[in-house]
Structure 1
Amino acid sequence: MAYFSGVVPNVRGRVLSDNSGDPTLMENGLYVCGWLKRGPTGIIATNLYCAEETVASISEDLEKGMLSSISSLPKPGREGLLQLLDRRDVIPIPYSSWEKIDSVERRLGSLRNKPREKLTSWEDLLKAATT
């Protein structure tokens, strides 16, 4: 089983099929920005720069005609995402499980007079999600 690292493999916002960094493995028409692009770092200005870089990639791809052939195809949506995650052996956590994690983190935080105490290991997160 693979765990989501929190960053989608990409080159300048263009989503890659794997973590190799090989730009020939781009997922045509898929883009990412923000924390999914670079990880949970930065400030609002960082997000702005990140989004601008991704928009520039989209614009370049449009100008090169790389997106015109897929624009008329039906988009796979949620089912396509679930198939992609399955191919990569990633098990998604549903919102209801996230709510359980949130509840545990808030409870642990209240014991320390804090808004929350973040769970930092996959083991703890999965345990909270499934209780």
Structure 2
Amino acid sequence: MPHLTAHLPEDKLAGRESELITALTEAIVGVYGEWARELASIHLSGVPAGRLAQGGRAVDTNISLIMGVRAAAFDRPDAAEITANLAAALTDAITAVLGEDLRPGTTVELVASPQERTFVAGVPAP
């Protein structure tokens, strides 16, 4: 079950939520396939001005994407290709909706979630 949390400047996000959710979902589906559409969970977290920083100073061009994926995805023979494609697709989705000026400050972190540590509705996820 891919789950994505995006931390981004509130002023860049406001009014673009639906468009961004669609673009990020399509990015995930574009890499994993149609089966992932109904399982993709996206959480957008708008951060007020002055609360994102780089190098000790506030910035308004940084975006942090943290995506939990099944740990088994990292064991596949094509894992390097899939993870690179996923990072590129998510970054492209952000910049397509919010602007190319955000590309340099967009980071993607893929976090391995072992199947036995992933739950939905209080029970292990399928």
Tell whether the structures are fold-level matches, with TM greater than 0.5.
no
The structure whose residues are more often strand, as a share, is 2
Larger radius of gyration: 1
TM-score (ref. length: structure 1):
0.28
